[in-house]
Structure 1
Amino acid sequence: MRRQCLILTLSSLGLLGLGACGSLDNEPFRAGTVRGRLTEFDPAVALVSVVGAPGVRSGVDAQGRFTLEDVPAGPAELFILATEDKAERVTLTVQGGQSVDVPDVAPRPAGAFFVKLHVRGSRKVTDVKASVDGTPIEASGFDDKDPARLGPLPEGCYGVSISAPGFSSTSVQDCVDTGKQTVLNVELIPEGSSGEERCALAGCGGGDSHSAMDGRGVKRPEDSH
C-alpha cells in the first residue's frame, strides 16, 4: 500500500510538471528587437517603423541609432524616414526573443504622392484626411482647393486611403519613383449616391482603374507620372 501511495504521489508531481510546462509564457518569443543606424538624418524628421505595423516605431539618437522593440517575429520590412526628401525600406527577418542588428542604412532620394481631389457640382470638400496604408505618412485638414503632399516615400507601390465628411471613403493604389512626385487625381463620391449616380460621376468602364461601384476612387484618364 505504501509503495502504491508513493507511485501515485510521483505521478501527480509529473502531471503538475507537465501542466507547468504547458503554461509557460511564450509571449517573449513572438517578437524581437531590431537595432540599426542611419548614415544621414534630420532629428526633427527621422522615424523608423514597421510596414504594416506603423505603431511599432522609433526615433533616432544623436548618432542616428534606433531601436525597435516588440517587432513581430518573421519576415518584416522597415519603413525609414530620414529627412524631408530622403527615405528607405529595408527587408529583414526577425527572430522571436532575439535582437537583430541591421547594417548601416544610407537613405536615398524619396518620392511623394501629390493628392488632388475632385468633386462634380458645387458641393464643398473640407477636412479631408489621407494616409498611406501601413505607414505613418498622413495628411489632414485639406480640401479640393488645397492639394496635399504625402511623403517622403521610398520607391515602391502603396495604397492610399482618403476620407472626407459627406463623401464615401476612397482607396487608390499607385507607385512612386526615386526623387519623383506622383500625382493622384481622386474623384470623391457623395455618400448615399446610387450605383447609377456613381457611374455618372466617376465612370464604370473597364480597365485597370477601380470602379466607383466598389466604393474606391477612380484616377482620371489624364493622370500620368
Structure 2
Amino acid sequence: LGEMTAGVAHEVRNPLGIISSTAELLQERLARYEPKNRLAQIIVEESNRLNEKVTEFLDFARPRSPNLRPCDLEATLNRGLELLAPEIDRLGIKVTREYQLDGQALMVDQDLLYQAFLNILLNAIQAMPLGGHLTVSIKPGPQGQGGEIRFQDDGEGIEPEALNKILNPFFTTKEKGSGLGLPIVKSIIEAHQGSLEISSAPETGTTITITLPALAL
C-alpha cells in the first residue's frame, strides 16, 4: 500500500507542480492588468490544498518504524502550541498546561509524536471557533512508567454516531477534511505500542488521552 500510494502521489504531484507554478505566473500578470481577477489565486490555493491532501495520504500509508531517542515530551508539545499560537490568540482560546514529568525524557520518535500532537491540537482549535478552553497535561503513566498525555477542550464535541467512526480512515465531519488526521495519530501511537482513547459529547467538548509505555532501544 505504501509503495502504491507513493507512486500515485508522484504521478499527481508532477502535473500539480506545473499547474501551481503556471497559475502563480498568471497571478502576477493579472495583478498588473486585472487586479480584481481572483481566478489564478483560486487555482494556486486549490493546488496547495490538493498537495496537502496528497501529503496526508502519504503519511497515512507510510509504514511506521519509530526512530527511538530520548525526548522531552513537554518541549515537543510546547513546540506545537507555539506554532499554533497566532490562531489560538485570534480565536481567544485559553490554554492551560499541566506538566508533571519535570523534563523527564521518554524513548519515542520525536518527529512522529510532534505530528500526532499537532493533529490533535488542530482538531481542538477547530472545535472552538468562538473561543474556549484547552487543557494539555502530561504525567507519568501507570506505575510511574512511560507517560500519559491528555488534551481536553470545551468545544463543539462529537455526536455519538460520529464518535464511533472517528478513527476510521477517510471519515470526516468537516467540509474540507480528509478524514486522515486522527487515523494518522492512531497509527503513530500504536507504532509506539501505546493506546489512544477519545471521549466526547455534543456541546461538552472532547478529551483525547494518549498512553505511552516506557520503551527501550
TM-score, normalised to structure 2's length? 0.24
Decide which structure has greater strand share.
1
Work out which of the two has the higher radius of gyration on C-alpha atoms and give 1 or 2.
1
Higher RCO (CA 8 Å, separation ≥ 6 residues): 2
User: Counting helix residues as a fraction of each chain, which structure ranks higher?
Assistant: 2
- Structure-1-length-normalised TM-score: 0.24
